[in-house]
A and B are shown apart, each in its own frame.
Chain A
Amino acid sequence: QKEVEQNSGPLSVPEGAIASLNCTYSDRGSQSFFWYRQYSGKSPELIMFIYSNGDKEDGRFTAQLNKASQYVSLLIRDSQPSDSATYLCAVNPKNTDKLIFGTGTRLQVFP
């Protein structure tokens, strides 16, 4: 079992719709969770992080964390074509300063 799993996609949504990206992780002791966006040929850029169970909103983005289910998601409201990218979920396991990355979900927002 991979430590951090994501569906590779592509996930295709129409412009203006809500895109829902999901991630599961195996280390139950993981403490912090991150979503990064990576455009083709570029390095990842941080979208947001979440530590506590529940929802965290930042503009059009909402991260959701459920530690009991070992599940973290990212919702993108009012999706735009410029949101088309690969979204990487990253998890910080307990007692380490490393981040473990999923393989990413490719999102395509079509006009």
Chain B
Amino acid sequence: GAVVSQHPSRVICKSGTSVKIECRSLDFQATTMFWYRQFPKQSLMLMATSNEGSKATYEQGVEKDKFLINHASLTLSTLTVTSAHPEDSSFYICSARDIGTSTDTQYFGPGTRLTVL
């Protein structure tokens, strides 16, 4: 149980293009999903909290117009990196909380490695 998928697992794009990453909870419902970014040899940095049916809450320093988040259903959240630049190259990981439990446990997707040329 508590499986989270991400698609794509790896993407290479040209500078200036937009990239959409999907995060799905496969066997549970998640009213809240989280998006993280991790640069090499660094820890996870929370980018935003995605709530089903409402606007995402972004962490300080994260541009909401550049990183568009949509959480249209209880099992799907998407992150779109708009006008990507080489400095956006990173490992993007989503996590989801199971609303069927009383814990705050977050289950992580396998991550998406983005390379912007």
Number of interface residues of B (CB under 8 A): 18
B105 touches A44 (CB 8 A): no
Which of B34, B43, B49 lies in contact with A103, CB distance below 8 A?
Answer: B43
Bound CA span A42–B43, Å: 12
Bound CA span A27–B21, Å: 33
Chain B 37-69: CB-based contact to A (< 8 A → 1; otherwise 0): 000001110100100000000000000000000
Closest to A33 in B: B104
A34 touches B93 (CB 8 A): no
Bound CA span A92–B104, Å: 8
Which stretch from A17-25, A53-61, A72-80, A93-101 is at the chain B interface?
A: A93-101
**Which residues from A are CB-within-8-Å of B46?**
98-99
B93 touches A43 (CB 8 A): yes
| B106 contacts A by Cβ under 8 Å | yes
**Which residues from A are CB-within-8-Å of B110?**
42-43
**Which residues from A are CB-within-8-Å of B111?**
42-43
B103 touches A101 (CB 8 A): no
Number of interface residues of A (CB under 8 A): 20
| B97 contacts A by Cβ under 8 Å | yes
Which residues of A (82-97) have their CB < 8 Å from a CB of B?
88, 90, 92, 97
| A49 contacts B by Cβ under 8 Å | yes
Bound CA span A102–B42, Å: 10
B103 touches A49 (CB 8 A): yes
**Chain B contact residues, CB within 8 Å of chain A:** 32, 34, 42-44, 46, 49, 93, 97, 103-111
20 residue pairs bridging A and B, Cβ less than 8 Å apart:
A32-B103, A34-B105, A43-B93, A43-B108, A43-B109, A44-B93, A44-B108, A45-B108, A46-B105, A46-B106, A46-B107, A46-B108, A88-B43, A92-B104, A97-B32, A97-B97, A98-B46, A99-B104, A101-B44, A103-B43
